[in-house]
């Protein structure tokens, strides 16, 4: 029997699976003979399906948030990987736990969050993460990775490099503050939002509201217009290449990383080449954020993939910069 995966990917792409397992308890994994051959889907918010899936698809629906330890100032929570990330953020804000409010409204599951070290508005999950627990797909052994062992970088972790396709993340630990929260409001848009409302000492709830409002104004809601957030990563180039590009393109935007490296907003590059808001068939680059590719209704995964390749090609030809996809192409 063929089962549709349309509901299980935020791009809303139609692709079929032969066999789907809805994972509610980890012991269900023991019934699957070759876990390594399965496709694991969390929130489905970072994948582009370009074909039907012959492997077993495992949809992670594990749940649970519990306290590992706490004192007067901090609390450490253990969270099951199948929990929804934004619901976790809202839960923490409701309880008064600070540390993840800048990452409000990021679609996807808790288990996917450390994979690509999700981040927004000056914060990344690596700032609060204490550990990742994962099952080795061959041995079924449960392994615990410390924050350091996760080898986090910008949208990077060991789960995308040397440990790729080796583990299934079962739960994570995060350490949050119960008082004296260190809020991060430096990111331009947040500051402007707070100033416009005369908020001088923002609470974690104010920051979450600011982020939600900014994201809603810039990023399309996947429930209305299928998408997977940023399709590409912001490229990091050498200072030498940056200086040479500036002589030709003086308005090029950049963020200095260190003396050798500069990060370039991919959205700027894509917009400068006329892709922003452009619709090609059933897909296109979003009108408010060029970095986000969208599905206008019946796009096939290959149509979106072709557009992404065309965008990459034009960025390469004009700027000599290779855009890397952030989304996993399957
Ligand atoms: N820009 C443009 N045109 C665009 C979009 C952006 O010129 O269409 C330029 C603007 O100059 C802007 C700069 O890019 O000042 C940065 O834009 P923005 O603040 O929207 O952030 P971003 O770098 O495009 C990143 C993340 C987002 C995250 C925001 C806010 C990546 C790949 N993306 O986008 O993450 O929400 O910062 O922190 O790092 C996601 O990963 O799915 C995601 C949405």
Does the pLDDT of residue 151 top 80, yes or no? yes
What the block records as the tokens of 243 is 């200086």
User: For the chain, which residues make up each domain, given as ranges?
Assistant: 3-60, 65-177, 226-329
What pLDDT shows up at residue 40?
A: 95
Averaged pLDDT, 35-44: 93
What's the pLDDT tens digit per position in 228-239? 999 999 999 999
Residue nearest to atom 2 of ligand 1 (CA): 268
Residue in the block written with tokens 């072709």: 306
Q: Cα-flanking dihedrals φ and ψ of residue 160, to 5°?
A: -110, -5
H-helix or E-strand containing 54?
strand 53-60
Percent of the chain with pLDDT over 70: 100
Length of the chain: 330
Residue 264 C-alpha to ligand 1 middle, in angstroms? Answer: 10
Neighbours of 81 (CB within 10 A): 27
Using CA atoms of 114, 119, 125, 128 in order, give the dihedral in degrees to the nearest 10. 180
Sign of the dihedral defined by the CA atoms of residues 74, 76, 81, 87, in that order: negative
Best mutation site among 47, 120, 285 for ligand 1 pocket (most ligand atoms within 8 Å of CB): 120
Q: Mean pLDDT of all residues in the chain?
A: 95
pLDDT at 1 over 80: no
What is the percentage of the chain residues whose pLDDT exceeds 90? Answer: 95
Topology agreement, domain 65-177 and domain 226-329: no
Pocket of ligand 1 (CB under 6 A): 120-121, 218-219, 229-230, 233-234, 253, 265, 267-268, 271, 276, 289-291, 326
List all residues 6 or more positions away from 237 whose beta carbon is below 8 Å from its beta carbon. Answer: 245, 261, 262, 264, 321
Q: Does domain 3-60 have CATH number 3.90.550.10?
A: no
Can you tell me which atom of ligand 1 is nearest the CA of 121?
Answer: 38
Sign of CA dihedral 41, 44, 47, 53: positive
The 10 Å Cβ neighbour count of residue 160 is 16
From 114, 122, 185, 186, select the one nearest 153 (Cα to Cα). 114
CATH of domain 226-329: 3.90.78.10
Q: How many helices, marked H, and strands, marked E, lie in the chain?
A: 7, 20
Which residue's CA is the nearest one to ligand 1's atom 9? 268
Task: Kindly state the DSSP code that residue 233 receives in the 8-state scheme.
Answer: P
Predicted local distance difference test score (pLDDT) of residue 33: 86
Q: Helices 85-95 and 204-218, interaxial angle, to 10°?
A: 150
* pLDDT at residue 71 in the model: 96
pTM recorded for the entire structure: 0.92
**CATH: 3.10.129.10, 3.30.465.10, 3.30.70.20, 3.30.360.10. Which one for 65-177?**
3.30.465.10
Mean pLDDT of 76-84: 97
pLDDT at 2 (0 to 100): 83
**pLDDT value at position 307?**
98
Ligand 1 mutation pick, 233, 265, 275, 285, max ligand atoms within 8 A of CB: 265
Q: What is the mean pLDDT of residues 203-222?
A: 95
Please list the active-site residues.
155, 230, 326
Q: Name the token pair of 101.
A: 């409010």
Residue ranges of alpha helices (H) inside 118-224 are 188-196, 204-218
Contact (Cβ atoms closer than 8 angstroms) between residue 295 and residue 305: no
């Amino acid at each position: 029997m063929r089962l549709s995966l349309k509901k299980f990917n935020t791009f809303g792409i139609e692709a079929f699976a032969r066999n789907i397992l809805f994972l509610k308890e980890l012991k269900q994994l023991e019934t699957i003979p070759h876990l390594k051959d399965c496709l694991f889907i969390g929130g489905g918010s970072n994948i582009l399906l370009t074909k039907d899936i012959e492997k077993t698809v495992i949809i992670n629906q594990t749940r649970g948030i519990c306290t590992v330890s706490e004192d007067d100032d901090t609390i450490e929570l253990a969270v099951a990987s199948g929990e929804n990330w934004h619901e976790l953020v809202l839960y923490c804000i409701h309880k008064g736990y600070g540390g993840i409010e800048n990452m409000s409204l990021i679609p996807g599951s808790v288990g996917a969050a450390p994979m690509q070290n999700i981040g927004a508005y000056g914060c990344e999950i690596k700032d609060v993460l204490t550990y990742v627990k994962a099952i080795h797909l061959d041995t079924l052994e449960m392994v615990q990775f410390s924050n350091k062992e996760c080898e986090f970088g910008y949208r990077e972790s060991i789960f995308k490099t040397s440990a790729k396709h080796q583990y299934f993340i079962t739960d994570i630990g995060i350490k949050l503050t119960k008082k004296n929260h260190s809020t991060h409001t430096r990111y331009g848009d947040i500051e402007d939002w707070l100033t416009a409302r005369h908020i001088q000492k923002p609470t974690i709830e104010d920051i979450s509201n600011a982020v939600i409002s900014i994201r809603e104004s810039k990023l399309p809601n996947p429930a209305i217009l299928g998408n997977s957030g940023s399709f590409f990563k912001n490229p990091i180039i050498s200072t030498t290449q940056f200086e040479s590009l500036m002589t030709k393109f003086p308005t090029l935007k950049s963020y200095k990383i260190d003396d050798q490296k500069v990060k370039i907003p991919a959205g700027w590059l894509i917009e400068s080449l006329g892709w922003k808001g452009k619709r090609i068939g059933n897909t296109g680059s979003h009108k408010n954020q060029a970095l986000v590719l969208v599905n206008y209704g019946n796009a096939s995964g290959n149509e979106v993939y072709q557009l992404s390749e065309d965008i990459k090609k034009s960025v390469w030809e004009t700027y000599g910069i290779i855009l890397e996809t952030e989304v996993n192409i399957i």
